[in-house]
Chain A
C-alpha cells in the first residue's frame, strides 16, 4: 500500500487489547489501532489480553477493509537467548500486512531493518528518545519513520523538535500518565521479580493484594510493599509504584512521592499540538474495556475533526471520561511539571 507519509495530519491512534476492542475502535473512527501478541513481546502482557496470530491476521483484514491501519507493539526488550519470540512476532505481523511495528530494542529494530526493509518502523515510547540527536540516531540507523514521544516535553519543545527531525511525531494525549522514563523502569521487577522491560508487565495482578481492616480501610500492596491506604469513603486505585504514597524524612505525612493517581488529558491543547506539528495522537489503554474504547475514540474523533475543520472543540465529553475526574496536562503545558 502506497502512502504519502509526509501528509499524515491528525491521525488518531487507539488502543486495542482484544479483537473486539479493535473492531470497536475502528468502527468508532480510529485511523490506526495498536495491539500486541499474547506474550512478552509487548509492554501490556496481561492475562486475557492481546492477540493470537490468527486474530491479528483477521484484525488487519478488518481494519484495512475500513481504511484503518494496524500497528504492532513489539516494544519490549528481548533478553539474550530469547530473541526468537520477537523475530517470530515481527515475521508474522509483516506477513499479515501490518502497517507499522512499534519497537524499542536496537536488536529488534535491526532485525526488521535488515530482514524486512520495506516494513515501516515506529520508535516506541519505551525507547525513551526525547531529543533531536536520539531520534536522529534511530532514524538514520534503522530507518524509523515515526517517534512516539515520552510524556516529558512542553509544546514549544515539541514544536522545536519537529522542525529538526526527519520523521513523524506521535504524542500521548489521553489515559494513564506514566511518570518514569519508559523502557528504563525496573521498579516492578524490584518488587515482584517480573520485569517491565523483558516480561512486558507493570504491577502484575498476581502480586497485587488488597487488605481491609475492621473499619473498612483498605491497604493496597504490590508484593510485600504497601503502595497506598484508603479510608472507607475513598475509591482505591490500582497499586502502581509510581502512583503510591510514601513517607520521607522531609514530610510529616505520607505523600505522593512521584505523582498523584491522575490521568493525562490534552483535549484543551489539541489545537496547539496540531500547530506544533504533531502528526498522530495516541490514546493509552490496551487494558481498557470495549465500552471505554468506544467512548474515548468517538469523542477524540469528533474533537480532532472539529479542530481540523477550524471549529470549536466541545470538550465536555472528553473531560467527563477521565476516571474520578482527576486529570492533568502533565509536562505538555508547563516546565513547572518537572
Chain B
C-alpha cells in the first residue's frame, strides 16, 4: 500500500461547524491519503456532528481521500451498543474497530483495528487478520523493537500498519468523565464541559509542572508525540501509514511537513528545524518509541 500521512479521528469536542470546516480544509489542502471520521471518545457528543457526516465524507472522497469511520473506544450503554452495531453493519464506509464489541460485529468482514484495541504482538495481529482485519493502528506506547517485529508479521499477513506520529497521546480511558468532575458535575448532566477545551484541559502537578490533558473520559499526555525523525526508520520496517491526531494548530501545514519527509523532499533534520520555529500548543516527545519515559524528547541526529 502506498506510504501516506493520515488524519486520525478528531478526539476533542469541537463545535460541529468548526469540525466541518476543518475537514473541508483537509479535503482541499492537506496531503493526507486517509481521513478517519467518527466520534471515538464520548457517545454524548455523537449527535452534533453526524448531520455533517455525508457532506464531509463526500468532499473528502472527491478530493481522493479514503474515508474510514472509527468506532467508540468504550462501549457500555444500550445506545453505544446500538450505534456501534449500526456503524459496523451498515458498511457504508470502512470501519476502524476500537473495542471488542465492534470486532464482534466485524468478524468475517474486511475491517481495520484502531489504537484503542490492544494489538501488542504478532499473534494477536495474525488472529485478528484471520477474522478480516486488514489494517492496524497501533498503540502509542509501543517501542521500536516491538514495531519492527509487528511489521514483519504484518508483511506475512499482507496487512498494513499505522503509527501515530503527531499529537497528544491517549494514555488512559475511564467510565468517569473528568471534564464533568472538574466542573463538579457528573457524566449524565455534563453540559458538555469539554467543549471549552479544543486541545484538552490542562492538568498541572501541585508544583506547577504541566503533566496531562483531560478530554472527557480520556486522559492524554501534555506533550504531543512527534516522530518526524523516526519516519525513515519506520518506513524501512515497512510501516506505511503515519497518523496525525488533529489539534487546533495548523494541521495542513503539519501534514505537508510529514508528507515532504515521507517523499524525500525534506530531511527529518530540516523538519525538526521547521517544527521548532513555531508553537504547536504542546512540547514534543518521542520517548515511547525509544523505550524511554513517554514525555522525553530525543534529538535523533
Measured in the bound complex, the distance between the Cα atoms of B107 and A278 in whole Å is: 29
Bitwise, B283-301 to A at CB < 8 A (1) or not (0) is 0000110011111000000
With a 10 A CB-CB cut-off, give which of A110, A133, A181, A190 has the most chain B CB atoms.
A190
27 A-B Cβ contacts within 8 A?
A: A83-B122, A105-B118, A107-B127, A134-B75, A134-B99, A134-B100, A134-B104, A152-B76, A153-B76, A180-B219, A183-B118, A185-B173, A186-B139, A189-B294, A190-B171, A190-B288, A190-B295, A193-B291, A197-B141, A244-B205, A246-B203, A249-B202, A257-B178, A257-B212, A257-B214, A258-B176, A258-B219
**Docked CA distance A197–B288 (Å):** 13
Q: Least Cβ distance of A177 to chain B in Å?
A: 11
Chain B residues with CB under 8 A of A90: none
Are B293 and A187 in contact, with the CB atoms below 8 A?
no
Beta-carbon contact of B293 and A133 below 8 Å: no
State which of B3-11, B18-26, B179-187, B242-250 sits at the interface with chain A. B179-187
A136 to B105, CA, bound (A): 11
Cβ of A81 and Cβ of B149 under 8 Å apart? Answer: yes
Please judge, given known A-B contacts A105-B118, A110-B123, A248-B201, whether A185 and B171 are in contact too, CB under 8 Å: yes
Number of CB contacts from chain A to chain B under 8 A: 231
Q: Which residues of A sit under 8 angstroms from B153, Cβ to Cβ?
A: 80
Q: Please report A residues at the B interface, Cβ cutoff 8 Å.
A: 77-83, 104-108, 110-111, 127-138, 140-141, 150, 152-153, 157, 179-181, 183-187, 189-193, 195, 197-198, 219, 223-229, 242, 244-251, 254-255, 257-259, 331, 335-338
Inter-chain CA distance A214–B134, complex, in Å, is 60
Chain A neighbourhood of B156, CB < 8 A: none
Q: Which of A111, A185, A336 makes the CB contact (< 8 A) with B123? A: A111
Contact indicator B176/A337 (Cβ below 8 Å): yes
CB <8 Å contact, A106 and B173: no
Binding site for A on B (CB under 8 A): 73-76, 80-81, 84-85, 99-101, 103-105, 107, 116, 118-125, 127-128, 131, 139-143, 145-150, 153, 169, 171-178, 181-183, 186-188, 201-209, 211-212, 214, 219, 221, 287-288, 291-295
Which residues of B lie under 8 Å from residue A242 when comparing CB positions?
172
Query: Given A110-B127, A251-B182, A257-B181, A133–B74 Cβ distance below 8 Å?
Result: no
Which 9 residue pairs of A and B lie closest in terms of their CB atoms, listed nearest first? A107-B123, A152-B175, A190-B294, A80-B149, A133-B101, A134-B100, A81-B149, A107-B124, A137-B104
Contact A226 B146 (CB under 8 A): no
| B152 to A: closest C-beta gap in Å | 9
**Chain B positions within 8 Å of A127 at CB level:** 100
Tell me which residues across on chain B come within 8 A of A197, comparing CB atoms.
118, 120, 141
What chain A residues lie within 8 Å of B141 (beta carbons)? 186, 189-190, 195, 197-198
Q: How far is the CB of A74 from chain B (nearest CB, A)?
A: 13
Q: Is the CB of B140 within 8 A of A186?
A: yes
Please give the distance in Å from B226's CB to the nearest CB on chain A: 15
Q: Check A131 against B211 for contact (C-beta < 8 Å).
A: no
Q: Say whether B178 contacts A258, CB under 8 Å.
A: yes
Return A251 CB to nearest CB of chain B, in Å.
Answer: 7
**CB-nearest residue of chain B to A192:** B293
* Cβ contacts under 8 Å, B122 to chain A: 80-81, 83, 107
* Chain B residues in 8 Å Cβ range of A152: 76, 174-176
A223 to B209, CA, bound (A): 12
Give the CA-CA distance A228 to B205 in the complex, in Å: 8
Find out whether the CB atom of A133 lies under 8 angstroms from the CB atom of B84.
Answer: yes
Known: A77-B121, A247-B206, A338-B188. A190 touches B81 (CB 8 A): no
Q: How long is the Cα–Cα vector from A56 to B55 in the complex, in angstroms?
A: 60
Residue of A nearest to B285 (CB): A190
A181 and B74 contact, CB distance less than 8 A? yes
Please tell me if the beta carbons of A336 and B74 are within 8 angstroms of each other in the complex.
no
Known: A246-B203, A338-B186. 6 other contacts (CB 8 A): A81-B145, A141-B107, A186-B171, A186-B288, A225-B211, A247-B206
Minimum Cβ distance to chain A for residue B134 (Å): 16
A137 and B100 within 8 A (CB): yes
Closest A residue to B214 using CB positions: A257
User: Separation in Å of the B84 CB from the closest CB of chain A?
Assistant: 7
Q: Of A111, A195, A198, A226, which is within 8 A of B209 by CB?
A: A226
